[in-house]
């Protein structure tokens, strides 16, 4: 029997990230235990400094744990090589940030294609997929615009297209509506919910906003780097 599928997509045990700061240390997250099955839409809540971004960075493979165990989509992130980590970040994870993080000198189409081209995928296929995604996201008339020529909502939708170009199983969003007005914020949350429900992606959203409450399948509350509550909302 295939046992891999029975494992949670995300498994963390006693996961810890401690930052060295001068002579001392700052705790980012503290001995977090977590199991997230595939197909969930998890909302991470907690005050500023509670460890949301630290946890997302570890899940994304952008940062390495100081202690504990972290396995995401079968990758043991404590023990992966740099080459495996690069592959993990490109193929498994799509990331969306508060400040969009688009490359300012590249067009909407180029920004969207970039992760696929870096992964060595063919240009024509990549362009075709990017145009499909950008069409779905309502940006087909903005393909050649630079980020500075877009509204905030358009920039975030371009960032979502970029996050999806390599067809990742997991979408991580760090405060994705933080720089958007409520209408655009709502539309980004609706898109993330659609990716979860219709595209079967596992989505984790760190947010202060209550816009995500309605779409969450579970909510994790962090305080001082620790989980204080993990509720299943469905
Ligand atoms: N690079 C770093 N060096 C030192 N300390 C850090 C670093 N990054 C985060 N921290 C500390 O780790 C703790 C958790 O920070 P984190 O950014 O994860 O919080 P957060 O919940 O995302 O907050 P916010 O809601 O403001 O985004 C905070 O005390 C923060 O000061
Ligand atoms: Mg944060």
User: For the segment 214-227, what is each residue's pLDDT rounded down to a tens digit?
Assistant: 999 999 999 999 99
Does residue 50 have its Cβ closer than 6 Å to ligand 1? yes
Distance 94 CA to ligand 2 centre (A): 17
- Rounded to whole angstroms, the Cα distance separating 111 from 121 reads 15
At 221 the pLDDT is 96
At 233 the pLDDT is 61
At 7 the pLDDT is 80
Distance 42 CA to ligand 2 centre (A): 16
Is 174 among the domain residues? yes
CATH number of the structural domain spanning residue 123: 3.40.50.300
**What total of structural domains would you count in the chain?**
1
Is 179 among the domain residues? yes
At 207 the pLDDT is 97
Task: State mean pLDDT over 31-55.
Answer: 97
Is 120 among the domain residues? yes
Is 194 among the domain residues? yes
At 231 the pLDDT is 84
Residues of the chain with pLDDT > 90: what percent?
Answer: 94
Task: State mean pLDDT over 73-82.
Answer: 96
In sequence order, the β-bridge partners of residue 34 are 12
Is 5 among the domain residues? no
Asked if residue 120 has pLDDT above 80, the reply is yes
Is 30 among the domain residues? no
Asked if residue 141 has pLDDT above 70, the reply is yes
Q: How many helices (H) and strands (E) does the chain have?
A: 6, 10
Name the residue with the closest Cα to ligand 1, atom 2: 19
41-45 vs 218-223, strand pairing mode? parallel
Q: Which atom of ligand 1 sits closest to the CA of residue 206?
A: 22
Is 21 among the domain residues? no
Name the residue with the closest Cα to ligand 1, atom 12: 28
Task: State mean pLDDT over 99-120.
Answer: 97
Does residue 17 have its Cβ closer than 6 Å to ligand 1? no
Task: State mean pLDDT over 5-24.
Answer: 91
What residue numbers bound the domain in which 145 lies? 39-63+91-232
At 80 the pLDDT is 95
Average pLDDT of the chain is 95
At 6 the pLDDT is 62
Task: State mean pLDDT over 57-83.
Answer: 97
93-97 vs 75-76, strand pairing mode? unpaired
Q: Which atom of ligand 1 sits closest to the CA of residue 26?
A: 5
Q: 3-state SS of the chain: helix, strand, coil percent to 5?
A: 35, 30, 35
What's the predicted TM-score (pTM) here? Answer: 0.94
Q: 36-58 b/e with 16+ CB inside 10 Å = b?
A: beeebbbbbbbeeebbbbbbbbb
Cβ atoms of 156 and 100 closer than 8 Å? yes
At 151 the pLDDT is 97
Q: Which atom of ligand 1 sits closest to the CA of residue 51?
A: 18
Task: State mean pLDDT over 128-153.
Answer: 97
More confident residue, 94 or 1: 94
Q: How many CB atoms lie within 10 A of CB 219?
A: 17
Is 59 among the domain residues? yes
Q: Which of 15, 16, 18, 19 to mutate to test the pocket of ligand 1 (most atoms within 8 A of CB)?
A: 19
Asked if residue 1 has pLDDT above 50, the reply is no
Q: Which residues surround ligand 2, an ion (CB under 5 A)?
A: 52-53
- Rounded to whole angstroms, the Cα distance separating 56 from 63 reads 9
């Amino acid at each position: 029997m295939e046992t891999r599928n029975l494992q949670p997509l995300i498994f963390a045990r006693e996961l810890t990230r401690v930052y060295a700061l001068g002579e001392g240390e700052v705790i980012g997250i503290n001995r977090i235990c977590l199991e997230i099955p595939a197909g969930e839409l998890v909302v991470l809540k907690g005050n500023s400094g509670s460890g949301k971004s630290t946890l997302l960075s570890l899940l994304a493979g952008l940062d390495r744990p100081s202690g504990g165990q972290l396995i995401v989509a079968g990758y043991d992130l404590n023990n992966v090589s740099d080459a495996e980590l690069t592959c993990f970040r490109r193929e498994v994870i799509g990331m969306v940030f508060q400040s969009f993080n688009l490359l300012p000198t590249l067009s909407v189409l180029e920004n969207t294609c970039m992760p696929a081209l870096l992964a060595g995928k063919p240009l024509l296929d990549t362009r075709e997929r990017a145009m499909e995604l950008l069409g779905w996201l309502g940006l087909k008339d903005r393909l050649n615009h630079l980020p500075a020529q877009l509204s905030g909502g358009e920039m975030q939708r371009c960032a979502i297209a970029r996050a999806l170009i390599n067809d990742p199983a997991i979408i991580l969003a760090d405060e994705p509506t933080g720089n958007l007005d409520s209408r655009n914020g709502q539309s980004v949350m609706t898109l993330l919910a659609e990716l979860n429900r219709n595209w079967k992606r596992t989505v984790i959203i760190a947010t202060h906003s209550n816009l995500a409450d309605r779409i969450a399948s579970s909510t994790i509350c962090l305080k001082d780097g620790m989980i204080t509550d993990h509720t299943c909302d469905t």
